[in-house]
Amino acid sequence: MKNYIKADEWNIIEEGFDPHLNKISESIFSLGNGRMGQRANFEETYSGESLPGNYVAGVYYPDKTRVGWWKNGYPEYFAKVLNAANWVGIEVKIDGEILDLATAEVSDFRRVLNMHAGILERSFTAKLKGGKTVKVKATRFCSIADDEVGAIRYSITATNFDGTVTLMPFIDGDIKNQDSNYDEKFWTLVSDEINGTEAYIKLRTKKTAFEVCTGSSIELYKNAEKVTIKPEAVRKEKFVGQTFSVELKANEEITLIK
């Protein structure tokens, strides 16, 4: 395998973006705190190869084996650790065009996992097909002091345009395990709620009846000053989100805290 990780005492460092290595990097740059684990999937939309992964300790499902229980020595099912609701998602649109590193021209890409502080940082410059360019810096961590808390700081700077940035932070519970034996989805919706800048979704596993509630709270800053937002609620199947737009001028920055 190609050795593309830069050596450092406390940090795991990736410089430059290679889509063919993305799934490997998602594993290498994973975060966890004993209660939950999080693969290093991008916050923004990514239509390239990816293996989304959010996991909650102790939550499993008896996934029926394809080999078959009728063969001696083979189990009827495997206790599979389930992919839980994706809490990191933030859809980004620049004047209506979705930010997607699979279709944008990417430069200055850098990803660093600080093993001392437990923080994942990622930064890049993206030129969209329409010609607009943005700089992005994303910081993420899972708290070990409060092991039910994860946090994201996502900053966008407009570099060569004045325009509208539309954000949709969301929680997506309509997920599955890519390695499920029968392409089965394991979660059912119990309840959801969207209230201003807060959103919650409660899911229950089939058969094992584990219940997990995932919630988010968002804040927005523009040029380091807090901005009052009135997001519009977005609901889909096992999906809750909030969308709002911000006007940006060249070299201005917005930061979403989730």
- Going along the chain from its start, the domains and CATH numbers come out as 5-257 (2.70.98.40)
Query: Which parts of 8-89 are beta strand (E)?
Result: 11-15, 31-32, 36-38, 54-56, 60-64, 77-81
| Segment 83-141, tens digit of pLDDT | 999 999 999 999 999 999 999 999 999 999 999 999 999 999 999 999 999 999 999 99
Q: What does pTM read for this prediction? A: 0.94
Look up residue 25 and give its DSSP letter: H
| Segment 130-182, tens digit of pLDDT | 999 999 999 999 999 999 999 999 999 999 999 999 999 999 999 887 766 55
User: Do 199 and 216 touch, CB atoms closer than 8 A?
Assistant: yes
Q: What is the pLDDT of residue 4?
A: 95
Q: Give, for 23, the enclosing helix (H) or strand (E).
A: helix 22-28
